[in-house]
Amino acid sequence: MNTPCTAKAGKQPPKEIIAYELHGNCYLNITWHCTLRCAFCPKYHGEWVVQGYDLRLLREPEADEVIAAIGDPDMYKQIVFCGLGEPTLRLDTLLEVARQLKAEHPSTSIRINTDGLANLVYAEDVTPRLAGLIDELSISMNAQNEAVYIQHCRPKRDGAFEAMLDFAVQAMKHVPSVTLTAIDGLEGVDIDACETLCQERGLNFRRRVLDIVG
């Protein structure tokens, strides 16, 4: 048997965390890739430990590995695709996990914490694919306008702020609960203006606190 290249003499190789428990939920860590480069993101400060869990991955897990890492989904209030990366960048794997969970445990509630840029990334409206599989979306809005969004989120693609808002509107047709969030306390972020912008588009809004996974 080959020794993992990450192993060092006298040390155990790092154990990758694909699934972790928080707030009575099971959070899933399926990629480290992102469409954004958020200035407040711990990984851009060399920190991969979130809420006591080291979320550094050495490779991206397959659907069967994710299912195995969850164990019994009935133990949790909700299964949450989260990060430290953007889960919809692995949309096929994510939906395969959701499909298996719903088939074997129909009462399982599934949420995606997302940047809301999947339609921009795939250059098509992928929100119909979420129907019947995803119960809730929490979309990181993070700013009340494009300038502040770019300042904090540093998107790799043009048009990300509008694309995120449009994704949320499209997703409401297929996902029972869609909520946009912004972090209170970041420079220039106007939480009231974020909420107003959401109300104008018929979207739900929730204020978040920095470094608290929700």
Residues that bind ligand SF4 (CB under 6 A): 34, 36-38, 41, 43, 83-86, 115
Distance CA 106, CA 125 (A): 26
Q: Can you say whether the dihedral through the CA atoms of 55, 58, 59, 64 is positive or negative?
A: negative
Asked if residues 186 and 140 have their Cβ atoms less than 8 Å apart, the reply is no
- Shortest distance, position 37 Cβ to ligand SF4, whole Å: 6
- Shortest distance, position 85 Cβ to ligand SF4, whole Å: 5
DSSP assigned state of 83 = -
Compute the half-sphere exposure of residue 168: CA atoms within 13 Å on the CB side of its CA: 26
- Shortest distance, position 9 Cβ to ligand SF4, whole Å: 33
Q: Packing angle between helix 160-171 and helix 146-153, nearest 10 degrees?
A: 100
- Shortest distance, position 7 Cβ to ligand SF4, whole Å: 27
Q: Which is nearer to ligand SF4, 84 or 186 (CB)?
A: 84
Retrieve residue 75's tokens.
């133990």
Q: Which is nearer to ligand SF4, 41 or 193 (CB)?
A: 41
List of residues 6+ apart from 105 with CB closer than 8 A? 73, 74
Q: Which is nearer to ligand SF4, 86 or 135 (CB)?
A: 86
Asked if residues 122 and 116 have their Cβ atoms less than 8 Å apart, the reply is no
Q: Which is nearer to ligand SF4, 86 or 195 (CB)?
A: 86
Q: Which is nearer to ligand SF4, 73 or 83 (CB)?
A: 83
